[in-house]
Amino acid sequence: MFQEPGRFRLTPEVLIIACFALANIVFHLLLPEYGYFRDEMYYVAIADGFSFSNLDMPPGSPLYLKLFLLLFGHSLKVVHLAASACGSMVIVFGCLIAKEFGGKKYAMVLTGTFLMFSGLMIFGSLYTYDDPTFVLWTAVLYLIVRMLKGSDQRLWLVVGVLLGLGMMTKLTILFLGLTIFLSLWMIRERSWFARPWIWLGAGIALLCALPYVIWQGGHGWYFLSYATTYAGRTTHASPVLEFLWNQVLPNNIALLPVWMLGLVLLLFARGWSTFRFFGYGYIVLCVTLFFLGGQFYFMMAIYSVLVAAGSVWIEQWFDRRSRAGSPRLTARVALPAAFVLLSLPALPFAVPLLPVDTLIRYLQPVGVNAGVKTEDRHITDLPQHVADRFGWEEMARDVAAVYHQEQDASPYLVGVTTGNWGEASALHVYRTEFGLPEPITGDGWYYFEALRRGVFPARYVAIGVSYARLQSVFEHVELRAVFTNPHCMPDENNNSIYYCSTPRFDLRKYWIVMRKMDSGFEGILRSGGVDRAVDYFHAQRSKDPGAVLFSEEQMNSLGYAYLNRKQVTEAITLFEMNVEAYPGSFNVYDSLGEALMADHQYPPAVRSYTRSIELNPGNENGRKKLQELKALMAGQAGHSP
């Protein structure tokens, strides 16, 4: 195919690869659309506002998307062009791997067909951080195939660049690095560790990631904290059977015999011993992701190798039958055609093919997610990757209606804030259409972006933020509208839209400690204890009455940590300080009441719970505790002499 380096030749193999790459893009661009997926809007927002001063998320995927947005403009089809282009590049490398395995034209046709309808299908119409990552993974695997066949070890330098770009795209590529390291020890090519090139490649990878690492180190390793929190609140940890099922169904159950054949060849076949690395690598990656809680789709790229191996064996089987005198042209055509036909029933689950009401009915016999879960968020009639494409435009329209009503009536600047990055990203994407300002939220990339922009007006339209949370920050919180949508994710449905004014403190100061409490306060708390921390708090407030040293949530969590350790006196002190800092929050009084109740200080506990209910008449926990306190106090009175 590339017998003459530096000179391009339009061979049949090149045409096969180009046709599959183009067909994949055209297929996805011709599909109907449900709407922007939550993550897609996030990456559009990061791409639009990209700055090297805000690297809380790896910049590779937003920069890749930004290239398409600059070249072709902003639209959902452009986003999906970027996504499908990644899928096409994976198909290209998969076909090249098949050629390196000894495959000819038919093996490349099979590989292209199988990969086009593999688990990569869903990512062609859904742009995520994983799309460019799949390309980098597959490119690395292709170069390793080349080196296993005897190519120059200096290719490790290119591998290092690709791994470095991977770390600047999504840190899951570290799983690939670990897999390479462990799998090489299992084969005779472990001798490569005695040469400099693999280590130089590792050094290049770390060097490429250095700017991101430096920024993270200077900002408290924010992304690691965010990723841990995100995993804990949304992602789904799969038991072993579910994890294995997730390797089958999302990757197209019709493809199972092909990649299983490839895996068996790479693990056991004598003629495939040169490529034993990939059989061991698949097992290592499976075990690693399962025990470290990785998502099943992190493995998608390695299936390109297994599929290529299976395709080459099928071609060789047909060749042997042909030499034996049995013509197999019809079978050669029938095999990929049958595979495509068997793949069609699963397409509506992967891509936006059916009208939503039809899709709901179509999914009912097998269940909404067919046993495949990536998140623990509640779903109803639609799987998460579909439901998270509905309602965003309508939400932005509802928020805009309230915003314009309040901004037109106020001589002061009105801002928009949200409870999470998905809502904020929707408002960003539709801001021009509906005349909205840039939103702010303390979630994800937006936290640092708000600090970078430094605009904190005193009035906000808020969606996705609880009334209690807003009440603790603003003097006046008024309900203006409620957003509803029949198909959006349940946790985004029936979202209240509030108008908030008169902040209780400087919002910029509050924003700074929203992620991490004041370092001076935290240091004294750790070294000098609770009483000294309270003294420090009062000293700072005496110097600056608007000083904000911690968020309500941070101090509440800290107070409960002491309470759970039976340090009740310290817990009460911390909760009292939280009441002083956030007197408009019902929750701080509720927490203080619980600590006072644990210390048998029943009258003060009654006063605290009573104040909590005054601030939030819907506080059923407070009402229940008041009943318990009345019973306890009556019991005490009955036992008094």
Q: How many domains, in total, are found in the chain?
A: 3
Average pLDDT over residues 55-63: 89
174 and 237 inside one domain: yes
The reply to whether 167 and 40 lie within a common domain is: yes
CA separation for the pair 529, 539 (Å, rounded):
16
Domain that holds residue 500: 392-511
Do 507 and 554 share a domain, yes or no? Answer: no
As a dihedral over the C-alpha atoms of residue 444, residue 591, residue 482, residue 437, rounded to 10 degrees, the angle is: -40
Cα 397 to the center of its chain, rounded Å = 26
| CA separation, residue 239 to residues 223, 282, 300, 376, 377 (Å) | 26, 19, 19, 13, 17
- Does residue 503 sit in the same domain as residue 567? no
Q: What is the mean pLDDT of residues 90-112?
A: 97
190 and 333 fall within a common domain: yes
Each residue of 596-625: pLDDT tens digit? 999 999 999 999 999 999 999 989 998 999
Whether residue 364 lies inside any domain: the answer is: no
Q: Are residues 315 and 446 in the same domain?
A: no
222 vs 101, more confident: 101
Confidence at residue 217, expressed as pLDDT on a 0 to 100 scale: 83
* 202 and 322 belong to one structural domain: yes
Note whether residue 367 is domain-resident: no
Which of 31-35, 229-233, 493-497 has the least mean pLDDT? 229-233
How sure is the predictor about 8, in pLDDT bands with cuts at 50, 70 and 90? low
pLDDT tens readout for residues 249-273: 788 999 999 999 999 999 999 999 9
293 or 442, higher pLDDT? 442
Same domain, 255 and 399: no
Residues near 562 by beta carbon (within 8 Å), at least 6 away in sequence: 530, 568, 570, 571, 574
Residues 135, 86: contact at Cβ < 8 Å? yes
In a domain, 528, yes or no: no
Q: Has this prediction a pTM greater than 0.75?
A: yes
Query: What was the pLDDT predicted at 640?
Result: 54
Question: Are 77 and 183 in a shared domain?
Answer: yes
Q: What is the DSSP letter of 59?
A: S
State how beta strands 474-483 and 495-503 pair.
Answer: antiparallel
Residue 532 forms part of a structural domain: no
- The per-residue pLDDT for range 65-85, each reduced to its tens digit, is 999 999 999 999 999 999 999
233's tokens:
């609140």
